[in-house]
Each structure stands twice: as structure tokens, then as C-alpha cells.
């Protein structure tokens, strides 16, 4: 069942999602060689709680009923998603995707950004750029009257045309009072397929893309997902609303990108 949001609810969603953007920027300030993902997690959790919100990932159950132990997922290099923060220092040339969710005033925010640690190669930089662009090419299709498959197809083509792999096992989602609502938003699919987009729909669009082959596996921690071929993976996510017929991006990379001076 897809829950359509009212104007007032969309504004509450925006408040929660802007807090996620600011939290990711706080984390981004600390993404440096020698810093651990546990330290990044601490920055995020404190920032979220200082702003009166709850980190939704903390305690969120996996399919085995085990609670996620942190406020962010921090997925380094060949880790695709759901990386558990740890005490391993980040190294120059690593990439780390930081996925974050908050609950504020009864509504959820969810956004993710892949950061570079120090300097990365031109090849890696081009990969990250493509995956981020693919998020926006999906968002462009998120207009009333289009279908979920129009978003999915745009994301897929953008990445596959450059030879990158689309992870099939994890998808974007509706979002609102719950972090995961209907409909699913896959990063692959056919144009004109799937549920029709309507005003009031709120969606988390989140390309999860590999530099090599798209196959993945789960680590024994039952959380961390990695690429089978050991190549890098990237993940960018915005929460959007279909609002006045168009995509209204509720989360924001503005603070992050000011920080990174892109």
C-alpha cells in the first residue's frame, strides 16, 4: 500500500531529510585518513540527537532479527551497503559511502553520499561522478504520470552505458512514517513499468553501483554487503516527493558539496 503525503507531511519530511543532509556534512568534515568509521558514527549519532531526532538505523533489524549496532552504515571500498562501523582507520585513496536515516516529528529522512578519503584516482573519481549523476537522471523521471520503471531505467542506463554494474538485490523504497514503505524503487527496469507516480508519493532513490561486476555477497556479520570481484562500489541516495507534478528533492547534498568545494 502506497501512502500519499499531504503538503504538511511533505514539509515534515523535508525537515527530517535536511537534518540527514547536515548530518552527512558533519560526517564528511571528519572523513580523513586515519579516522575510523566508529568515530564517524559517533559524530553522526551526536549530531542527530543534538537536533532532537532519533537515528533510525540504530537497532533496525536485519532479516535474522538482529539489531543494527550504529547510527550510520559506513561501507568502505568493495563494501556496497550496510557496512558496520568499526575501529579500522580509513586510508588515503579509500572511498566510504555513509548512509544515514533519522526520525523527526514522526517522519523519516534517508540519504547517502560516497566520500573520498584524501585523494582518489581519476578512474575512481569518474566512477563516483557517474553514479551520482545517475541518481539525478532517475530523479528527473520522477514526475506525476510516469512510472517507477522510468526512474529505474534511467538509473540503469546511465551506469551500464559506462560499463558499471547495477546491484539487483537491494532497491530504493517509499518512505514516510516508516523508513521502508511501498513501492520498491529498483535501480534497473523497463520504462513504463511498475506503479504510476502520483503527487504525494515520497521515494528514496538510491543507486548502488559497482565498478566491476554486479554480484555481491554478505559477510558473516550478516550485515556488510561486498562485491564478489572485490572492485569498488558506490551509493548515493536522495529522498524526494512528487510535489506539484515534479520531483521535489527533500534531502540535500548542498552542505556536503560546499564542504567538498565541488
Cα distances from 248 to residues 50, 141, 240, in angstroms, run: 27, 12, 5
Near Mg ion by CB under 5 A: residue from 26, 110, 150, 181: 110
Instruction: Give the three-state DSSP class for 180.
Output: coil
> Interior CA angle at 103 toward 101 and 107, to 5°?
110
Among 60-68, 85-93, 98-106, 155-163, the segment contacting Mg ion (CB under 5 A): 98-106
Peptide bond preceding 183 in cis form (omega within 30 of 0) = yes
Tell me if 181 contacts Mg ion by CB under 5 A. no
Near Mg ion by CB under 5 A: residue from 20, 102, 154, 204: 204
How many of the other CB atoms lie within 10 Å of CB of 96? 23
Question: Could you tell me the smallest distance in angstroms from the CB atom of residue 254 to Mg ion?
Answer: 18
Q: Which is nearer to Mg ion, 93 or 103 (CB)?
A: 103
The residues, any chain, with a CB within 8 Å of residue 192's CB and separated by 6 or more, are: 147, 149, 150
Near Mg ion by CB under 5 A: residue from 9, 78, 99, 150: 99
Tell me if 45 contacts Mg ion by CB under 5 A. no
Among 36-44, 117-125, 233-241, 244-252, the segment contacting Mg ion (CB under 5 A): 233-241
The size of the interface with Mg ion (CB under 5 A), counted in residues, is: 5
Instruction: Specify burial of residue 27 (Cβ count, 10 A radius: 0-12, 13-18, 19+).
Output: buried
Q: Which is nearer to Mg ion, 165 or 207 (CB)?
A: 207
Question: Could you tell me the smallest distance in angstroms from the CB atom of residue 119 to Mg ion?
Answer: 27
Tell me if 102 contacts Mg ion by CB under 5 A. no
Contact 133, 125 (CB under 8 A): no
The kind and range of the H/E element at 208 are strand 208-210
Q: Which is nearer to Mg ion, 112 or 201 (CB)?
A: 112
Can you give the binding site for Mg ion, defined by CB under 5 A? 99, 110, 112, 204, 237
Amino acid at each position: 500500500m502506497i501512502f500519499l503525503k499531504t503538503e504538511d507531511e511533505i514539509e515534515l519530511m523535508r525537515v527530517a531529510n535536511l537534518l540527514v543532509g547536515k548530518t552527512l556534512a558533519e560526517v564528511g568534515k571528519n572523513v580523513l585518513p586515519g579516522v575510523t568509521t566508529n568515530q564517524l558514527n559517533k559524530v553522526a549519532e551526536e549530531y542527530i540527537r543534538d537536533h532532537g531526532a532519533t537515528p533510525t538505523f540504530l537497532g533496525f533489524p536485519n532479516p535474522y532479527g538482529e539489531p543494527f549496532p550504529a547510527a550510520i552504515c559506513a561501507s568502505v571500498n568493495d563494501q556496497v551497503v550496510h557496512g558496520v562501523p568499526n575501529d579500522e582507520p580509513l586510508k588515503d585513496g579509500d572511498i566510504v559511502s555513509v548512509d544515514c536515516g533519522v526520525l523527526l516529528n514522526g517522519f523519516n529522512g534517508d540519504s547517502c553520499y560516497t566520500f573520498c578519503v584524501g585523494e582518489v584516482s581519476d578512474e575512481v573519481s569518474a566512477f563516483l561522478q557517474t553514479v551520482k549523476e545517475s541518481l539525478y537522471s532517475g530523479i528527473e523521471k520522477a514526475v506525476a504520470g510516469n512510472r517507477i520503471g522510468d526512474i529505474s531505467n534511467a538509473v540503469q542506463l546511465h551506469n551500464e552505458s559506462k560499463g558499471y554494474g547495477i546491484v539487483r538485490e537491494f532497491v530504493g523504497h517509499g518512505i514516510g512514517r516508516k523508513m521502508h514503505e511501498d513501492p520498491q524503487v529498483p535501480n534497473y527496469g523497463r520504462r513504463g513499468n511498475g506503479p504510476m507516480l502520483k503527487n504525494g508519493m515520497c521515494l528514496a532513490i538510491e543507486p548502488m553501483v559497482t565498478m566491476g561486476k554486479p554480484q555481491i555477497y554478505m559477510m558473516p556479520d550478516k550485515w556488510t554487503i561486498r562485491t564478489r570481484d572485490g572492485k569498488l562500489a558506490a551509493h548515493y541516495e536522495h529522498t524526494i516527493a512528487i510535489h506539484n507534478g515534479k520531483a521535489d528533492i527533500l534531502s540535500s547534498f548542498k552542505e556536503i558539496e560546499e564542504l567538498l568545494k565541488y
